[in-house]
Amino acid sequence: MDLTTIFTTLVMLGLVLTSAIFQLRALTWTGLLGAYLVVLTVSGYSSAALLVIFWIFYLAAAAFANLTVLRRRYLVGSLLPLLKKQMPVISDTEREALEAGNTWWEKELFSGSPEWDQLFSIPRPTLSPEEENFLNNQVEQLCSMLNDWQIMNELRDMPADVWSYLKKEKFLGMVIPKEYGGLGFSALAHSTIVVKIASRSISAAVNTMVPNSLGPAELLLHYGTDAQKAHYLPRLAKGEEIPCFALTAPDAGSDAGSIPDAGMVCKGELNGKEVLGIRLNWDKRYITLAPVATVLGLAFRMYDPDHLLGDKDDIGITLCLIPTKHPGVEIGNRHYPLQLAFMNGPTRGKDVFIPLDWIIGGVDMAGQGWRMLMECLSIGRSISLPALATATAKSAYRYTGAYARLRKQFNTPIASFEGIEEALGNIAGSTYILEATRIMTSGAVDLKVKPSIASAIAKYHMTEIARQVINHAMDVHAGHMIQVGPRNLLSSAYMAMPISITVEGANILTRNLIIFGQGATRCHPYLLKEVELITAEKPDIKALDRVLMSHIGFFVGNLLRNIAYSLTGGRFVFATVKNKRIRCYQRQLTRMSAALALMADTSLILLGGSLKRRERISARLGDVMSQLYLASAVLKYFHDEGSPKTDVDYVCWCLQYCLSKMQIASNDFLDNFPKRWVGKLLNWIIFPFGQVYRAPRDASYKKIVLPMLFANELRDRLTRHCFVGKDQSELSYRLDQALSQVPTVEPIIKKMHKAMQAGVVSSRHSFADRVVLATKAGVLTTDEADKLSVFESLRNEIIKVNEFSFDLAEIIA
């Protein structure tokens, strides 16, 4: 084959690639390729056999694309029965979940070619001056009032003055608009306030966040009648009413669509009058704030057997509000979730009669409860649990970094040991990812997006990352943090972590069924429309043909895009980030977006409806999508902060980490694809030269650990709104004070070590005696001796643990 043949062949492939990637219209690409083939034919193309092959493929593709009438009549129409069998069946509850909330940036990630400038153009989420003032004053004051040891182990509740302060300063009405007497704060403010409180007390944070997330206030704001809003919202804002929302039943947890609690439409007596209402029976558990609630939000299935409202027997899942003092309502007992002190317990009701106007939104919203819950869950799940996860990471970053710098083994700070450095590096990088994701996701809510898929990603991955962070922190602190007591800053976060993993959609469910299960249907540009057209009673063949042709173009475009990216290593992918190191990572994220689109489409085409039952396949695709989202949040945070040079090592570590997780998920997906030959083929297309992405290198750990070990802007920014005490009684204050003294005392410590090596002082002497001897010998000045003694006293106080009498009753009294 001569050079001319090679060149013209490459041009032909380039035209095909361009047409597919940019999804040119059928007439455009057929005209373009046809004209080029005519030119080759007329000019005497040197390889006649290759030219014939080109023409055969071209004519077949052109005929398929342009003979629309024949294609619709003989191909699409005849394939319709097969397509009906292949398509997943979407239940009513699944449809309501799919229709709840919005897609956002995650849809771009599914496209195979995300528009990064679109992400960077989203306004930076910021706190208002009023919100900043509230954080610096009311939240700071609240944190100073909290004693987590007392709350968890002595009172098993918040003190009365804390409850009063929460109500007085409207902490329970942060999301309620000012017109109803609330604070009217943004989602970002709500999230940040929870972060700060949680860095002081998880129990207090949960008691505070629940009324502001999935609960009566949120539901009333979106769906309540004017009368319901006017009655309840001012009372909720002032804390005159304490709300709870009851969804989980003993036999309906993650499968909330199978709620057994029922309400029958009937006539009954209320205040001496016969009215049309509902007779309810329920048995709920795990309900936060239920033991102290004054108003109960309830999810139940509503039936109308006597057709008093219409023709339907089963109206569907419905939500209502019931005063807890209403006859038949049972509350008061409590659960004790992993010894945390937030209020949580069961509620039951037997033959409780309520009027129809207690339905949230009135009778018109009867049967709409599942959609209402899914929409509000997408908001609450974007804020509350991600905030708790971020608070855990911020605390671990600030306290563990300082402790590792101050704690010594073999006369060396333990931060210098590579094993400790690895744990610290994971804490550091994870904290950056969590803070970036928290800000971006809560910012979406402030843009009036209901990010159903992004919130599921945030809930699952942020709580899982926080679980790894707290484990690393416990490993570094070792015995120091396994001894419970007032000196322990991490034990409550460690104990609380399984709760975050479990609630608001258990993590196993979220990963295996929701992230990709809903994400594919909502984010795919054509799938939902195809399902609707194919499963319709009278399918619109013309509309279906248009969608199928667009889908084919989308698939072929991503297939060719993957081939091009894999063969070139993604080096020529368009990227917009200015920093050269980070720009390389941005290109790889685009490459993996294309890989996700190809793997997802292949699964949908070949597995069809059975994909719903193949949870591991779905989970691994969801992992790739999720890591793309987390990486996007890191890029967005870096951009919004002004691309500071101090962050570059952190950003590179985070993006390398996310890419390595995508590699693992992709490998597992390809190795376990049900049709083995398809998995091998996809593997050759996406990763033709083997594994591309590996975990961050050892050297990168050292770079991101360093800012943890001394006072600096990056450390303060990443741990901003992490509560730090104001006096010596607080371990957080002592850690900061000691860390600030390290640069001053480090040269003095070196002098002492040299004096010991020279025999001026001996290790058999106590520290105090060594300081005195070194001062007398002229090794240290009096001022240096004083500074060293103060520092050592502070350091010893930091590494102390609590001691209790032999009678353990003292601990749990």
The helix, strand and coil proportions of the chain, stated in percent and rounded to the nearest 5, come to: 65, 10, 25
The helix or strand, by DSSP H or E, that contains position 7, with its residue range, turns out to be: helix 3-21
Q: Which residues sit opposite 298 in a β-bridge?
A: 246, 320
Pair 462, 437: CB distance under 8 Å: yes
Virtual CA dihedral for 758, 764, 766, 771, nearest 10 degrees?
A: -10
Q: Which residues sit opposite 262 in a β-bridge?
A: 281, 301
User: Strands 262-270 and 295-303, how do they pair?
Assistant: parallel
CA separation for the pair 468, 168 (Å, rounded): 37
Q: Give the other-Cβ count within 10 Å of 37's Cβ.
A: 18
User: How would DSSP label each residue in 335-403?
Assistant: --GGG--S-EEEEEEEEEEEEGGGBTT-GGGTT-HHHHHHHHHHHHTTTHHHHHHHHHHHHHHHHHHHH
For residue 246, give the 3-state DSSP assignment: strand
Residue with tokens 């060396």: 412
User: Strands 295-303 and 329-330, how do they pair?
Assistant: unpaired
First to last CA, the chain: 88
**At CB < 8 A and 24+ separation, what contacts does 247-251 make?**
247/284, 247/287, 247/299, 247/373, 248/284, 248/285, 248/286, 248/287, 249/282, 249/283, 249/284, 249/285, 250/283, 250/285
Using the 8-state DSSP alphabet, how is residue 451 labeled? B
CA separation for the pair 588, 571 (Å, rounded): 8
State the chain's maximal CA–CA distance in angstroms.
104
Pair 705, 424: CB distance under 8 Å: yes
The helix or strand, by DSSP H or E, that contains position 717, with its residue range, turns out to be: helix 713-718
CA separation for the pair 591, 570 (Å, rounded): 6
Q: Give the other-Cβ count within 10 Å of 757's Cβ.
A: 9
Using the 8-state DSSP alphabet, how is residue 279 labeled? E
Does residue 504 have an active-site annotation? Answer: yes
CB half-sphere exposure, 476, CA atoms < 13 A:
34
User: Strands 243-246 and 273-288, how do they pair?
Assistant: unpaired
**At CB < 8 A and 24+ separation, what contacts does 787-791 make?**
787/741, 787/744, 787/745, 787/748, 788/745, 788/748, 788/749, 788/752, 790/741, 791/738, 791/741, 791/744, 791/745
The active-site residue out of 218, 421, 504, 530 is 504
Task: Name every residue whose Cβ is closer than 8 Å to that of residue 505 and which is 6 or more positions away in sequence.
Answer: 254, 377, 381, 456, 459, 460, 514
**Of how many residues is the chain composed?**
813
Pair 404, 795: CB distance under 8 Å: no
Q: Is the dihedral of CA 190, 194, 195, 196 positive or negative?
A: positive
User: Strands 243-246 and 314-323, how do they pair?
Assistant: unpaired
Q: Which residues are catalytic?
A: 504
